[in-house]
Structure formats: structure tokens, C-alpha cells
Amino acid sequence: MSISLSPNALVVLERRYLKKDRRGKPTERPEDLFKRVARSIAAADAEFDPKADVEKTEEDFHKLMTSLVFLPNSPTLMNAGRRLGQLAACFVLPIDDSIESIFEALKHTAMIHKSGGGTGFSFSRVRPENDLVSSTQRISTGPISFMTVFDVATETVKQGGTRRGANMGILRVDHPDIEAFIQSKTDLAKLNNFNISVALTSSFMKALTAGKDYDIVNPRNHKVMRQVSARAIFDRIVRAAWQSGEPGIIFLDHINRANPTPELGEIEATNPCGEQPLLPYESCNLGSINLSEMISGGKLNKTKLRQTIRSAVHFLDNVIEINKYPLSEIEAVSKKTRKIGLGVMGFADMLIRLGIPYDSKRAVRQAEQVMTFILREARKASSELAKKRGNFPAYKGSIFDDPKTPHMRNATVTTVAPTGTISIIAGCSSGVEPIFAVAYERRVLDGEALFEMHPLFENLANQNGFYSNELAEQIAETGSIQQIKGIPDKIKRLFVTAHDIAPEWHIRIQAAFQKYTDNAVSKTVNFPHDATPEDIEKVYRLAYETGCKGVTIYRYGSRDRQVLNIGREQAQQAGETGTIPDRPRIVPRVRPVRTRGVTERINTGCGKLYVTINEDDQGICEVFAQMGKTGGCASSQIEAAGRLISLALRSGVKVEAILKQITGIRCPSPIWQNGKMILSCPDGIAQVIRNYTRISSTEMPAMMGACPDCGGSLEHEGGCLVCRSCGFSKCS
């Protein structure tokens, strides 16, 4: 069966999913990948019924994926039928108030990250900083210090992995260290392998509404240490999120009211993107239905959707059985609850096909209708599986322990996850997000820029006679068509992007899906750069009132604005007042008399280039470059580039920001060296700097807004950063 894959999908599959030999060359084609996955997952049928028609199931699963109506989460695509065999994306590990528990969790984290999974933790049980440790008569360093240990370990383990390790760190709002936790990621150099969220309780929200104080409780002895203004803490959360996009928030009581197995304990943490609340040692495997492919004749094809749901639930339940779990504890708990998370992607594309603007009441109704259908049919499919295979072992004591629901195979069946890379493969919009851009620039492997247009917009533009390459280039500058002349208003209304939409509509769509989702809905609420903290506060309150289980926000450009750009004193003032004063003149620091460094030779299309990098006690302070052959225009330009780089470094500009500017510059004579293409002399200088500073292509900070793998634009979606050019994801 032929697979209709876009050029972009093929790039993503080759870079991130296909099996490769030791030289990095793919040893399978996309069709081989889908056969491998289908065969592996279908084999579980025989474990339940020796007479099962495994070949028929394999054919069904293969069609499910190759038609791009459903795709499982990335670990399943990568690892099914391979030696590693770890197929789940989401894990939560317990952390208790002891060194033994903390470092046991650290060991288990490393094992999970090595297998390709992401981890979530609640640090709420760890005693606060400066609290007494009676066994040693010393004082505790607090949860944030231990988060730093986990962050460093993640950085170490993820080197060279297929998927990057990612963590979620959660702290209850009544923990004594909550103020420090809220501020912990306003310094963009810290905890880069963590998303963080504050767990807000209903009692806190009531105190906030009433303008009252609430109790701060020591988790070691459960004694009230002090009372704090709920308003003051909430303002800190809002201000930090306005400044850096973090922390996110989760509504702990909303989550536990929907806990399907309360007798097993309370839920305290989620996976890295927040859509999967889990008990300690639980895991969950996810998959998403492409809603864009469920439209026939201008309406939802319920027959096709129903059959897709039934096959997908069967698929995901099989994954639980054949998964090679990284820990025996995880296998035991995961098989006790057998949680699966069937979600969606392509919702924004579905709305466009239906002629419904994303920011409209019609869209909210459509979201409720389609997710109601998915939840109902997924539970039916799970119930039918239970009749053949048995209920999940923790069924007794669960919310399903009811005569009306005598059979249920899975404790949860629905989750709306971010679908960054699999939505690229499927060629659709991500999760339940609006489209991020109508057109964008994509860089191919040799550094050439191509302009990608949303296919539905391109079709309409051609039908209405206003499509052109110049239009694509113009749209790609901002991604939006709202200010471009010559495009009919009706089409503008339909193709609204994430930044065209008022934040309240993001929440209303999220809440519509959350009503009919067992677990949670991962979504980013996008704000313009000039949004105020008050705007963010309104969204947080609306999310709580509408029953969302958590919120992630991103104010455009907030993470891109480095402290070095405005000066430390000005940054502090901005954090306190919400405004940024006039920028002072930056004076480069004086070059020291003595520096230390190295010289590296690199081949370029112009000849051998010798790059010298020197540093002083404050870090790299200068870069010199010289061609092996002297004289000429190239040599003078290279000298000028070195002087400007040195000036920038001594003026406080981050190395990463410099690399962003000079990486990928192309001249007419690119050349290959050691398996890498040197596109130009500036590109060669960038590679030498990166080698010296050990900033690999996957470690350049995503907060700059450029993909560290290909230089394309990063999208903030579903609580994560994703590049639609190459499939890079900060959370995986």
C-alpha cells in the first residue's frame, strides 16, 4: 500500500524514526517502519487468544497508520519490533522526604530517559530549605537543589539518545519553598531539562477569591509554618509566567476528582507536558486520531471515526502487553490500571474543512461534539475488550466499579497530548492547537530556505486566483495573513493562527475538550508580546472556572528576551514593575592582558580556515579567524567577522545568540568535512565555536526561537517547543 507522505514528513521520519546503521544511514523505509510496528503490536493478540487471527489484526493496524488516520506516540513508532522495545511516553516517579528515595528516583529517571521516556515528579513531600535533618543534625537544602541534581543527570543521559530526556517538576502551592520554586526558571540558564508547574488547590483558589491568607505547611511534620496572602503568591506566579512562560499551573483537586482509581492513592504529578496525570510508577501510552481525515462531504464521518476509535483502542491496549518496561515497578502498576490515552490531532484543519473559525462558539460546540463521540466510543471499545480479556486489575475500587459498567479494560481511555512530530508525519495541525502559521520558512539539509504553505490555504488561494510564491514569502515573515491585502475576509477569518486568536478562545477550546477527556488536555495559550500580567491572570481564572486541569501560557518573545539584552538592574526592575526601561548603552569589557585558548583548523570551500578561540575568567572573550592563504576579500571579511564576534562576546552577548546568527550562512562553495557540511567560512567558525563550548546542535537553547537542529522556527504548543521543519521537540 502506498503511503502519501509530504517531503517534510519524510525528513522527520529519516531523522528521528527509521532504523539506522552505525554510520547513521537508514536501513528501513517508511513502509518498513509501519510494517514493523503493526506486526509487533498485533502479536499481542496471540497472548490473549492462541486462535486469534494475528495477520488480520496486523493488516488492520497497518492500514490504520499508513492511511495516516491514527498514529501512536513516538516511542512506539521508534521502538516497536526493536531490541529496546520501550513503547510508552509518560512516566511518573515518587519522591519522598529521604535521601534514599530521592536518589532511587534519580537512578530510575536515568533508566527511563535512556529508554526514551519522559518523567514527572512532585517534589512536594521534600522538606523545605533550611529545615532540620535530625539524623545528621544538619539543615535541608530543599526541593529545588534536588531538582538541579535531576537536571544535570538528564543532561548527561540524553547525550546521543534518539529522544531527549524531559522532566516535569511540580510543587504544591502550600509548600514552604513555593516562592523560590516560582522564580526558579526566570533564570533561563537553569533547569533547562524541566518544565515546572505549581499545583494549586481548591482551598488556595477559594482564599484567592476571598482575598484571604492561606496556610503554608511543612511536609515533614504537616505543621503550619506561616500564613501567606493567596493574592501575593498568585501575583508571583502570574508575573513569572509573564516573564518566562513558566511556571505552568495544574489544578490538583480538578485532577483528583477525575482520578479513576482513588483507592490506589492521590495523583500528585503529571508527565512533562501536563496532559497525563499519573500515580507513582504509572505509565501511559498515547496515540492520536487525525480529525482532518474524518471529514467527508463537508461533515464529520462518524462511521469512519467509530471504526478508527475501536481499532486504536485495540492497538493501545496491545501496547501495554508487549511493552518492555524500564522498571518492574512500572510494569506492575501500569498493568494494574492499564491506562491508555487516545487523543486527537488535526482539529484546526478539521474546522477549516468544515468552514468554522477556530475562535467561535461553533468551534467550541464542534470540539464538545467530537470529543463526546470519541470518549463514548472509546469506552465502548474498552468494555468490549474487557469481556474478552478481563477488566483492569484495579477495577474494584475504581470509578467504574458500578453495576452499570461491569466491564472496563482500561482505567482511562482518552488524553489530548501535544502531537508535534507525529502531526508532521500525518500532515496535519498539532493536537487541538490552532494552526501556528499559514506559511513558514523551512531549511533543508544544505541550508537552502523553502517556503511551506498550509495546503488548505494554498488550495483556496489557487481556486480564488491570488496564490503566488511572493505571497508565500510575504506570509512567512509573520505566519499570519490578517494584515495582508488581497486576501478575502472570509478566508482570513478561517485561517486564524495561534497569535491571531484572543487567549480566552484558547481556554474555551481547551475546556470543551477537557469535559470529555479522562486525563487532561495539553495546550499552550499564546499571548502577544504586549500582553500584560493581568491578561494572564484572566486566563488562569477562566481555566479554573471552566474545569481545565492545568494551563500553560507563552507570551510571544518572553523566553527570547535575555537578561543580557537589558542589563541585570533593568531586568530586575522589569520583573518588579512589568515594564522595561530604556536600554542603557552597553560598554564592552576590556580585553585582559593574558587569555587562554585553542586554535582549530577546518576545511572550507575557500581553503583551510584557522579559528582561534580565547577566554578569560568570565568566559569566551574573543575569536580570531585566518585563511591559510593570505590576502584577498575573503580574508578581510573573515577578520572583520572575528572582530565583531569578539566585540559581541565582551559586550555580554551569549555564545548561543552568536551561533544562531552565523550558523547556516551559505556561500557558493560548500564542502563536506567529517560527515558535516561546511556551508561557508562563517558557518565553519560557528562549528568550531560549538565544538569548543561543547554546545552540540541539539543543545542550543530553544528559547531563542530558532530550531537547534535546522534553524527553522520553533512553535510553542502543548507545553513544549516543536519545529515543524525537522521534527525537533524539546520535550522528547
What is the Cα–Cα distance from 18 to 177, expressed in whole angstroms? 44
Q: Annotated catalytic residue: which of 58, 246, 275, 717?
A: 275
Q: For residue 660, what are the β-bridge partners? A: none
Are 89 and 182 spatial neighbours (Cβ–Cβ below 8 Å)?
A: no
d(C-alpha 589, C-alpha 647), whole Å: 9
SS (H, E, C) 573-638: HHHHHCCCCCCCCCCCCCCCCCCEEEEEEEEECCEEEEEEEEEECCEEEEEEEEECCCCHHHHHHH
User: Which amino acid, 591?
Assistant: R
Apex CA 323: angle with CA 321 and CA 329, to 5°? Answer: 90
Contacts of 612 (CB under 8 A, 6+ apart): 597, 598, 599, 623, 624, 625, 626
- The catalytically annotated residue of 90, 167, 259, 273 is 273
Residue 268 is a catalytic residue: no
Of 195, 271, 318, 519, which is the active-site residue? Answer: 271
141 near 129, Cβ under 8 Å? Answer: yes
Q: What are phi and psi of 579, to 5 degrees?
A: -125, 155
Q: Which helix (H) or strand (E) holds 295?
A: strand 295-296
Rg over CA atoms, the chain: 26
Helices vs strands, H then E, count in the chain: 25, 27
Side chain identity at 717, as an amino acid letter? E
Let me know if 275 is a catalytic residue: yes
Q: Helix (H, G, I), strand (E, B), or coil: what is residue 389?
A: helix
- Phi, psi of 238, rounded to the nearest 5 degrees: -60, -45
CB 600 within 8 A of CB 688: yes
Phi/psi of residue 491, nearest 5 degrees? -75, -40
DSSP assignments along 465-518, one per residue: T---HHHHHHHHTTS--TT-TTS-HHHHHHS-BTTTS-HHHHHHHHHHHHTT-S
Q: CA-CA distances (angstroms) from residue 715 to 274, 358, 499, 533?
A: 17, 18, 11, 22
Contacts 24+ apart (CB under 8 A), 483-488: 487/461, 488/464
- Between CA 687 and CA 664 the distance in angstroms is 10
CB-based contact 554:240 (threshold 8 Å):
no
Structural contact between residues 113 and 154, judged by C-beta atoms closer than 8 angstroms: yes
The reply to whether 691 belongs to the active site is no
Cα separation, 689 vs 710, whole angstroms? 17
Distance CA 97, CA 38 (A): 43
Are 416 and 7 within 8 A, CB to CB? no
Q: Give me the active site residues, please.
A: 271, 273, 275
